[in-house]
Protein backbone atom coordinates (compact mmCIF):
# COMPACT_ATOMS: atom_id res chain seq x y z
CA UNK A 1 0.00 0.00 0.00
CA UNK A 2 1.27 3.46 -0.86
CA UNK A 3 2.12 5.88 1.91
CA UNK A 4 0.21 8.69 0.23
CA UNK A 5 -3.11 8.88 -1.54
CA UNK A 6 -3.14 10.95 -4.70
CA UNK A 7 -6.38 12.26 -6.16
CA UNK A 8 -7.31 14.11 -9.31
CA UNK A 9 -8.59 17.67 -8.88
CA UNK A 10 -12.10 16.40 -9.68
CA UNK A 11 -11.77 13.62 -7.11
CA UNK A 12 -10.58 16.10 -4.51
CA UNK A 13 -13.53 18.39 -5.23
CA UNK A 14 -16.00 15.49 -4.89
CA UNK A 15 -14.46 14.35 -1.60
CA UNK A 16 -14.42 17.90 -0.19
CA UNK A 17 -18.07 18.31 -1.18
CA UNK A 18 -18.97 14.99 0.47
CA UNK A 19 -17.20 16.06 3.68
CA UNK A 20 -19.04 19.40 3.62
CA UNK A 21 -22.36 17.60 3.22
CA UNK A 22 -21.49 15.21 6.05
CA UNK A 23 -20.52 18.11 8.32
CA UNK A 24 -23.74 19.97 7.48
CA UNK A 25 -25.82 16.85 8.16
CA UNK A 26 -24.08 16.35 11.50
CA UNK A 27 -24.71 20.01 12.38
CA UNK A 28 -28.41 19.43 11.74
CA UNK A 29 -28.40 16.29 13.90
CA UNK A 30 -26.62 18.15 16.72
CA UNK A 31 -29.35 20.79 16.64
CA UNK A 32 -32.08 18.16 16.70
CA UNK A 33 -30.50 16.34 19.66
CA UNK A 34 -30.34 19.65 21.54
CA UNK A 35 -34.00 20.34 20.73
CA UNK A 36 -35.15 16.90 21.84
CA UNK A 37 -33.59 17.34 25.26
CA UNK A 38 -35.67 20.49 25.77
CA UNK A 39 -39.02 18.71 25.59
CA UNK A 40 -41.04 19.08 28.78
CA UNK A 41 -41.69 16.01 30.92
CA UNK A 42 -45.14 15.55 32.48
CA UNK A 43 -45.04 17.20 35.91
CA UNK A 44 -47.52 14.88 37.55
CA UNK A 45 -45.96 11.56 36.54
CA UNK A 46 -42.68 10.76 38.33
CA UNK A 47 -41.86 7.74 36.17
CA UNK A 48 -42.18 9.88 33.03
CA UNK A 49 -39.85 12.47 34.54
CA UNK A 50 -37.30 9.76 35.35
CA UNK A 51 -37.58 8.32 31.87
CA UNK A 52 -37.07 11.78 30.37
CA UNK A 53 -33.98 12.32 32.55
CA UNK A 54 -32.57 9.02 31.30
CA UNK A 55 -33.10 10.01 27.68
CA UNK A 56 -31.53 13.43 28.26
CA UNK A 57 -28.52 11.75 29.92
CA UNK A 58 -28.00 9.42 26.95
CA UNK A 59 -28.52 12.29 24.52
CA UNK A 60 -26.25 14.90 26.09
CA UNK A 61 -24.96 13.58 29.39
CA UNK A 62 -21.31 12.90 28.90
CA UNK A 63 -18.50 11.56 26.75
CA UNK A 64 -20.53 8.54 25.56
CA UNK A 65 -23.65 10.59 24.81
CA UNK A 66 -25.16 10.80 21.35
CA UNK A 67 -24.30 14.51 21.22
CA UNK A 68 -20.61 13.95 21.98
CA UNK A 69 -20.37 11.10 19.46
CA UNK A 70 -21.84 13.38 16.79
CA UNK A 71 -19.32 16.08 17.74
CA UNK A 72 -16.53 13.52 17.31
CA UNK A 73 -17.84 12.47 13.89
CA UNK A 74 -18.04 16.15 12.90
CA UNK A 75 -14.42 16.72 13.92
CA UNK A 76 -13.34 13.73 11.83
CA UNK A 77 -15.33 15.00 8.82
CA UNK A 78 -13.56 18.37 9.11
CA UNK A 79 -10.16 16.66 9.37
CA UNK A 80 -10.96 14.48 6.35
CA UNK A 81 -11.96 17.57 4.37
CA UNK A 82 -8.67 19.27 5.19
CA UNK A 83 -6.76 16.18 4.13
CA UNK A 84 -8.65 15.89 0.86
CA UNK A 85 -7.98 19.56 0.14
CA UNK A 86 -4.25 18.82 0.31
CA UNK A 87 -4.64 16.06 -2.26
CA UNK A 88 -5.17 13.22 0.16
CA UNK A 89 -1.94 13.47 2.11
CA UNK A 90 -2.53 12.51 5.72
CA UNK A 91 -5.67 10.58 4.83
CA UNK A 92 -4.40 7.35 6.41
CA UNK A 93 -3.97 9.07 9.78
CA UNK A 94 -7.46 10.55 9.63
CA UNK A 95 -8.90 7.22 8.51
CA UNK A 96 -7.31 5.56 11.56
CA UNK A 97 -8.82 8.26 13.83
CA UNK A 98 -12.24 7.71 12.26
CA UNK A 99 -11.93 3.95 12.81
CA UNK A 100 -11.09 4.60 16.46
CA UNK A 101 -14.16 6.83 16.88
CA UNK A 102 -16.33 4.18 15.25
CA UNK A 103 -14.85 1.52 17.55
CA UNK A 104 -15.64 3.67 20.58
CA UNK A 105 -19.27 4.20 19.60
CA UNK A 106 -20.47 1.01 21.26
CA UNK A 107 -18.45 1.55 24.39
CA UNK A 108 -20.46 3.11 27.17
CA UNK A 109 -23.69 3.25 25.17
CA UNK A 110 -25.16 0.26 27.01
CA UNK A 111 -24.89 2.03 30.35
Residues with Cβ < 8 Å from 28, sequence gap 6 or more?
A: none
| DSSP state letter for 45 | -
pLDDT digits (tens, 9 = 90+) for 73-109: 999 999 999 888 886 666 666 667 777 777 776 665 5
Torsion angle of C-alpha atoms 25, 27, 28, 31, degrees rounded to 10: 160
Tell me the C-alpha distance between 54 and 73, whole Å.
23
User: pTM of the prediction?
Assistant: 0.68
pLDDT digits (tens, 9 = 90+) for 13-63: 899 999 999 999 999 999 998 888 787 777 888 888 888 888 888 888 778
Q: Could you tell me the pLDDT band of residue 1, with boundaries at 50, 70 and 90?
A: very low
The residue extents of the domains of the chain are 63-111
More confident residue, 7 or 73: 73
Amino acid sequence: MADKLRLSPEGIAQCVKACDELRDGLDELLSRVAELTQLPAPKDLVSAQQLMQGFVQKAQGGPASVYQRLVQFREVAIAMRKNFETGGEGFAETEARFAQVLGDVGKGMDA
